Structure 1
């Protein structure tokens, strides 16, 4: 069944006497995402949702709660904690899992550093170190499908990826070996050892996400909204002062009113100057922006032109 047909049936639009209004763009995106989530639960044995507490994973989780209401979400949450995450986001992550009664699995980069399986990078960022803990957690949980909140508009590498993305026995992604996805039909076939990454909001834009958050009144970590913070400028971004992101000699620390468009590892995530204190203001701000949130605020994506694609080929999400 196509996404549009499913939505029309759900709304009773096939019955002329119902008089339901025509679906708007957000209705269609929501219907597609819910269709994908239900398809995965029907087809796979042990799906899991990568949940960091960031806006995209929060939206995917919200969609999952709608997909299976009034029942509980029938899969666990998984987070790879770099050890450099924002404390406010980790608190929000834990409170959300507890509120919804969903099991939260946490893989910690620090454990791998402590026992020598991984080593700190010279640049101090731990974001690229997430790959091995992620793959190990997928294997340990025997997860054959892994939901993520990635979107095609974020990065050129993500724009190449399908909604159902096959990963081989080593967790690697081959951009030259992608399956066609026609008429909302998804191919989840895989052999033992392989798994499928699934992106229900792949076709959404950052603006779609914020408009949906506004419509559904979805709670988010406070870092997404304008607040005063000690920051310094580096590589054209405002970096927050913290235990894992100290200023270097010559970098001036100053108080600025900023917010975060993405809330990844503190060691590589920058803030933007903003006075947007509520979702409506953020919607207006994002509508006027000419840069994606990753392009504007993620230092790890500036390592090379193909930084994201190189990490994805190694197994990164």
Structure 2
């Protein structure tokens, strides 16, 4: 049989997995592996598309039983209200427990201080790590993907963190043949990334295939925005806009959703997943590179925060 014929026979196989099936299968396997190796797993759930996808995969992994994990969100106080409403509705529908950790509470107690640039995203690290220690979570699911940013491209699927929640690339373990090592000393924990091998386009293709509902901010809508550092930001009580930053009404959507103070919108007419997929296929910019102010603070901004305990 020629190579071409072999390829044709393989692709015509009704039992062959599509690339989305393969990614789904890998993620489901990771969730089940964590359930077998750890005692107190938690999934970070903000209502953003990657955390929504992770929750859907966790529900699939353990159906018809509920997932054996809790949910947690570090609320900076600068979140989009629409996303928080969506978060609470989905959690209620799933019947899961959500731990909400407040950055504002840490500021009120003098444990954290507002940054001059107004963004609170870098302030999440201390509340996150305190919550992990308080609830004794030993495995923490995050939605990081290797295509997002160069520091995240270095991550293992199981990322060991020390007793201070810090990341040391020299202590990371090989993961040959999808063998994941969850061993950790008392006080340490493991960050787990089921979406490591997904791309932004894969995420949207899966959302389209599975008819997954997302917050409306991911689709084109008319919104008041202002221009700062090359990005369209949303006005809000976080400190924007300044006097020299006029507010305009534009048709925009968000590729990634973090704080209002650090997440930029992109001009778009994509109002459904199919249109978003077509738009992404023509884009040359990563979602974080195009729309996240906090990643522009320095060349090593993400890696510096990861070493401190950020995701």
Q: TM-score, normalised by structure 2?
A: 0.95
1:183 to 174, 177, 192: 177
Q: CA deviation at 1:20?
A: 4.0
Helix, strand or coil for the counterpart of 1:166? strand
Q: Is the deviation greater in 192-201 or in 242-251?
A: 242-251
Residue 75 in structure 1 maps to residue 69 in structure 2: yes
User: 5 Å matches for 1:45-194?
Assistant: 45-194=39-188
Count of residues paired in the alignment: 299
TM-score between both structures, scaled by the size of structure 1: 0.93
Shift in Å at residue 21 of structure 1?
2.8
Q: Deviations over 1:4-44 (max 9, x none)?
A: xxxxxxxxxxxxxxx74311100000000000000001110
Question: Whole-Å Cα distance in 1 between the matches of residues 274 and 252 of structure 2?
Answer: 16
Deviation at 1:245, TM superposition (A): 4.5
SS in 1 for 2:305: helix
Q: How does 1:1-317 map to 2 (within 5 A)?
A: 20-317=14-311
Q: What is the DSSP-based 3-state SS (H/G/I as helix, E as strand, rest coil) of the residue aligned with 1:176?
A: helix
Q: Distance in 1 between matches of 2:22 and 2:69?
A: 24
Rounded to whole Å, the distance in 2 between the matches of 1:177 and 1:75 is 26
CA deviations 1:78-104 (Å, max 9, x no partner) are: 000000000000111111110000000
Runs of 4+ in 1 over 2 A off after TM superposition: none
Q: Secondary structure at the match of 2:197?
A: coil
1:245 and 1:266 in contact (8 A); partners too? no
Give secondary structure in 2 for the equivalent of 1:33: helix
RMSD: 0.9
| 1:288 Cα deviation after fit | 1.1
